[in-house]
Amino acid sequence: MRFVYKGIGVLVGMALMSILLISSVEYVAYYMDGYFEKEYKKYQVAKSIDIEMNDLLEVTHEMMDYLKGDREDLVVYTKIGNIEQEFFNDKEKRHMLDVQKLFIGAEQLRLGAMLFSALAIGVILYFKKGYHLFQGIQGGIGIFFGLMGLLVALMVHDFNRYFIMFHHIFFNNDDWILNPKTDLLINIVPEGFFRDTAFWIAGIFLISALVVWLLSWFLAKRMKTGE
């Protein structure tokens, strides 16, 4: 039966990594204080589209509320070059609707992973098989990082190919292909912004994952003698 407990532990470990990854994305996107303003200043975004920083931050705030599902639409007016106009065009709205579905879907996935992890850990600890559980969790974390490492290697080898493949997997249209001459959205998130954001997400995720792995290792060691 120990293989069953370890197997469940592996699934719990992968579920925990999914929870941490989604939470890391959410923290940087929604709750990292001053992040957008810092990035906008770094890449001179407000100047590039002729908008005041406060107005740009307000547009960003409304956009993030929309992604969280706290706003019904993306009809947002602001001043571009001292002309009052709608910030997002129809194509951008369609794309952001697709992105919103991904964000909300990720939140639902995280909730499911949390419920599964809590139930599995509770049941296995009830049967006093915590050693096998936490060993399995360590294995699940290792498998998750192995898959992530493979993905990173593929992206490094041919970024454009897998970037396009990612969009084709998650989007069933071409609305994600934006034109910097006509679409303001792509101008407020330049390539450097994505690179910095990926760095912060990866850093937060790696640190939190290491904490979980060390905790699992410590608990497995503590429980080994009792089983």
Reference 95, options 175, 179, 41; nearest CA is 175
**What residues have CB less than 8 Å from 216, skipping those under 6 apart?**
13, 134, 135, 137, 138, 141
- pTM, 2 dp: 0.90
72-117: per-residue pLDDT in tens? 999 999 999 989 999 999 999 999 999 999 999 999 999 999 999 9
Q: What mean pLDDT is reported for the chain?
A: 92
Tell me the average pLDDT across 12-29. 96
Residue 32 above 70 pLDDT?
Answer: yes
Q: What is the pLDDT of residue 2?
A: 82
Q: Exposed e or buried b for every residue in 37-68, given b needs 16+ CB within 10 A? A: bebbeebebbeeeebeeeebbebbebbbebbe
Q: What is the pLDDT of residue 222?
A: 86
Residue with more model confidence, 222 or 18: 18
Residue with more model confidence, 2 or 9: 9
115-127: per-residue pLDDT in tens? 999 999 999 999 8
The DSSP secondary-structure symbol of 29 reads I
Q: What is the pLDDT of residue 225?
A: 59
Q: What percentage of the chain reaches a pLDDT higher than 90?
A: 78
| The two three-digit tokens of residue 140, written as one number | 């699940």
Residue 11: pLDDT band (50, 70, 90) is very high
36-57: per-residue pLDDT in tens? 999 999 999 999 999 999 999 9
Q: What is the pLDDT of residue 168?
A: 86
Q: What is the pLDDT of residue 226?
A: 52
156-195: per-residue pLDDT in tens? 778 778 778 888 888 889 999 999 999 999 999 988 898 8
- CA atoms within 13 Å, Cβ hemisphere of 144: 24
| The two three-digit tokens of residue 95, written as one number | 């794309």
